[in-house]
Amino acid sequence: MKEKIYTIPVTDAFNTDCECPMCVLEKKLEDENVEYVLGPFLMEPEGRMETNENGFCKRHFEFLYNTQANRLGLGLIVDTHMVEQNAKLKKNYEDKKNQLKKDADVSFIKNLSGKLSSKQTETRKFVDELIANLNKLENSCTICTRINKTMDRYIDVILYLYFKENDFKELFHSRKGFCLKHLKALLEGTGKYLGPKETAIFVDNLLSMQVENMERIQQEVNWFTKKFDYRNNDAPWGNSKDALPRSIQKLVGFCNLK
């Protein structure tokens, strides 16, 4: 049996009536990690090294700030993160500053073969490397990394329980499918944790329930739109009153909709 520390959150999430149990898992992890980063993690040397290097994505910077739980702690994290990023940017610039000034004074022309001069190629290479570094920073996030690591462990547990515990398999198939983000994650997980035969069985069953539930929610949101027609004023809403936010979640995963 997989460790209880992982099975309990999984079974709890799958016992929740929702459009995607894995969104429940991910949201709980997100809340826990936001709280942790502003608490104990703040004082751990390894934690500060991680936040200095990776920072946070836009979403999680917003979460950390909007909690208003520890503005001083967040300020310390941002301060040292900026010190490290500023130092890297300054070093990159100073290493190439003289070359850039020289190249700025040169009129670049193509030679007969149509190739750019070597100096221009060097400048372009530097700019491309700088862009790559900025892209890496933009796509890095301490909280996302922690969430993704644990979510991958949860996928391992889900696939294990699916084939080892009949009660969980029945629970799995009693749910309403998954958002497309986590459908993809489950499909990716089959390549890591299942053999060919198990993969075929699981994917067949997964897609069958997913198609059924995608069609269900599309019909619900379709009825939601038709309820705005005056001719349907007296018709019952059915399950469609909250179909719009649920359908958005089905497409992109959990998001804060007001």
Q: Helices (DSSP H) in the chain: which residue ranges? A: 4-14, 21-37, 40-43, 45-54, 58-66, 71-104, 118-138, 142-164, 166-173, 180-193, 196-226, 243-252
Across 220-240, b (16+ Cβ under 10 Å) vs e yields: bbebbeebeeeeeeeeeeeeb
Distances from the Cα of 82 to the Cαs of 64, 67, 68, 121, in angstroms?
A: 16, 21, 20, 30
Question: Which tens digits make up the pLDDT trace of 61-109?
Answer: 999 999 988 899 999 999 999 999 999 999 888 887 777 777 676 655 5
Average pLDDT of the chain, as a whole number: 89
Distances from the Cα of 210 to the Cαs of 28, 121, 196, in angstroms?
A: 23, 50, 21
Taking the C-alpha atoms of residue 96 and residue 54, their distance in angstroms, rounded to an integer, is 24
The burial class, CB within 10 Å (0-12 / 13-18 / 19+), for 42 is middle
Distances from the Cα of 57 to the Cαs of 81, 117, 118, in angstroms?
A: 13, 38, 37
Q: Are 8 and 39 in contact (CB under 8 A)?
A: no
Q: Are 120 and 111 in contact (CB under 8 A)?
A: no
Residues 6+ away with beta carbon under 8 Å from 214:
177, 250
DSSP 240: -
pLDDT score of 106:
63
pTM of the model: 0.83
User: Running along the chain, 258 residues long, what does each successive block of 10 average in pLDDT?
Assistant: 75 95 96 92 88 93 91 92 92 80 62 54 83 91 95 96 95 96 97 96 97 96 91 90 93 86
